Amino acid sequence: MTSASPAATRIPRDGHPVSRKNISDSALTVMSRLRSGGFQAFLVGGAVRDLLLGNHPKDFDVATDATPEEVHELFRNSRVIGRRFRIVHVRFGREIIEVTTFRGHHDNGIDDDDDEESAQQSGNNHSKQSDSGMLLRDNVFGSLEEDAVRRDFTVNALYYCSSDFCVYDYVDGLADLEQHQIRIIGDAEQRYREDPVRMLRAIRFAAKLNFSIAPQTAAPIPELGYMLEAVPAARLFDEMLKLFMTGHALSTFQLLCEYGLLEHLFPATATEMEHSTYAQPLIEAAMRSTDRRIAEEKPVTPAFVLAALLWEPALQMRYDLEDSGQEPMPAIQEAGQTIISEQLHHIAIPRRFTGPMREIWEFQLRLQNRGNKAVSLLSHRRFRAAYDFLLLREEAGEDLDGLGQFWTELQEKHPDIEVDRTSSREDRPRPRRRRRRKRPQ
Ligand code: ATP
Ligand code: MG
């Protein structure tokens, strides 16, 4: 069975611009193999939304009535992942097609028993809620119609069937797409309580698509922002990457401030922004520069954005430590360490980024040194990021007595000095060295 129930608005091929030409072959393969196996399969989520808007989808998500295990059986190149929300990743080279089983209503399937084994035995067809209504697990499977209303926003709940070429709309998503509006499905407060990350997603899509957030979808956000503090720090790190590293960091940041969410993600930053003149302009300059680099397809790293977000709190703490008698370098080191440890309670920043953040901060002190040794810093692996950071501080209005100009000229005087490649702002994975097999003698 490939067609949806008549309850949906069904838009035939000549009524919409979604063409198979613009859908990845891997996604088409996944859907056709699922159908051959007797299951339903639809393209859903961001891909349908972006194709309808005439944009290039970032990735392709498929929804099906096959359970994760059934999907896994059909594809050797697949893995069942997640616990809170079990899905299947089907891999084709570097491309991953995310296959989700239709979610159903969880109210009558609530599983109070957190016994992992019983959940496994019953196929994990369970959901689990916290006292505050947060969904700790959402693995109740259902029909296509149920799946549509379990999705977050109407524009994300449009389905495309690659065998009848129709778009299916159960939630008036097409109307919202036309009106450039992010509207949550169902009762906003309840949906945010189930999953507070939806507040961040509302903001992310509004920024990315340049859409407005519908009034009833926006209204509860400032009051429920505190619920983000209950979201696991590792998940918030992943979300943070999507917020700031996908080309719309500046408008996303401004919306986070407007809706009062920044204080629940970066509390020290939010506090410092109230007191310091430079905090917000510096962060905005870093976001603008990151967006520009992404548009130019230049490498970017979250370490740089995070260094900007937490710079002012680290700087203030450094001054406090200096006031109590510490030398500047140990003071910035200790301040950096402390500010990062506090931040880790909220967002789990991996060590591969906290190290570079601290180096960028410490380098700000070293860059103050205009003496004979200055030239030796030019080849340092962190020079480039630290110099870029220095320029942003000046752009944000800090008066550094021409320090940026000094380093710009010094580099011009020494065009021959190679900056160590590892200093680039990119977090390039290290090439993995293959271990040579010993040849049999
Ligand atoms: P992007 O362009 O960033 O990939 P997307 O809309 O595809 O945007 P994904 O995070 O890939 O976003 O999620 C795919 C789809 O899964 C969404 O479009 C939405 O329908 C659904 N979804 C994702 N996260 C949630 C959530 N927290 N609550 C409800 N539905 C969700
Ligand atoms: Mg997606």
The pLDDT score that the predictor gives to residue 2 is: 42
Determine if ligand 1 sits within 6 Å of the CB of residue 154: no
Q: What is the pLDDT of residue 420?
A: 60
Higher pLDDT among residues 124 and 222, named by residue: 222
- Alpha-carbon span 393 to 308, nearest angstrom: 9
Of the candidates 50, 147, 152, 169, the residue annotated as catalytic is 152
Alpha carbons 291 and 161: distance in angstroms, whole number: 34
Average pLDDT value for the chain: 90
46 lines ligand 1 (CB under 6 A): yes
Most confident of 108-117, 328-337, 370-379: 328-337
For the stretch 94-121, what's the b/e string if a residue is b when 16 or more beta carbons lie within 10 angstroms of its beta carbon? eebbbbbbbbbebeebebeeeeeeebee
| Domains of the chain by residue range | 9-228, 249-427
Q: Is the pLDDT of residue 282 over 50?
A: yes
Pocket test for ligand 1, best of 61, 87, 105, 136 (most atoms within 8 A of CB): 61
Instruction: Give pLDDT, residue 1.
Output: 41
CATH class assigned to 249-427: mainly alpha
Q: Which pair of structure tokens corresponds to residue 399? A: 């008066």
Residues 301 and 349: beta-carbon distance below 8 Å? no
Region 217-226: mean pLDDT is 98
pLDDT tens digits, one per residue of 33-68: 999 999 999 999 999 999 999 999 999 999 999 999
Per-residue confidence (pLDDT) for residue 116, from 0 to 100: 44
- Reported as a pLDDT band with limits 50, 70 and 90, residue 436 is very low
Q: Tell me yes or no: is domain 9-228 CATH 3.30.460.10.
A: yes
Atom 5 of ligand 1, nearest CA residue: 46
Binding site membership of 204 for ligand 1 (Cβ less than 6 Å): no
Within a 10 A sphere around the Cβ of 329, how many other Cβ atoms? 12
Q: At what angle do helices 279-295 and 267-275 cross, to 10 degrees?
A: 120
pTM of structure: 0.89
Q: Which residues pair with 78 in a beta bridge?
A: 90
Residue 375 vs residue 6, higher pLDDT: 375
Of the chain, the end-to-end C-alpha distance in Å amounts to 60
Q: What is the mean pLDDT of residues 306-311?
A: 98
Q: Does 172 participate in catalysis according to the annotation?
A: no
CA distance 139 to 104: 8
Q: Which residue has the higher pLDDT, 441 or 369?
A: 369
Average pLDDT over residues 328-346: 98
Q: Report the pLDDT averaged over residues 361-387.
A: 93
Reported as a pLDDT band with limits 50, 70 and 90, residue 11 is very high
Q: Calculate the alpha carbon distances from 177 to 12, 142, 144, 172 in Å.
A: 17, 26, 20, 9
What does the pLDDT read at residue 172?
A: 96
Active site residue 147: no
- Residue pLDDT, tens place only, 88-133: 999 999 999 999 999 998 664 444 444 444 444 444 457 778 888 8
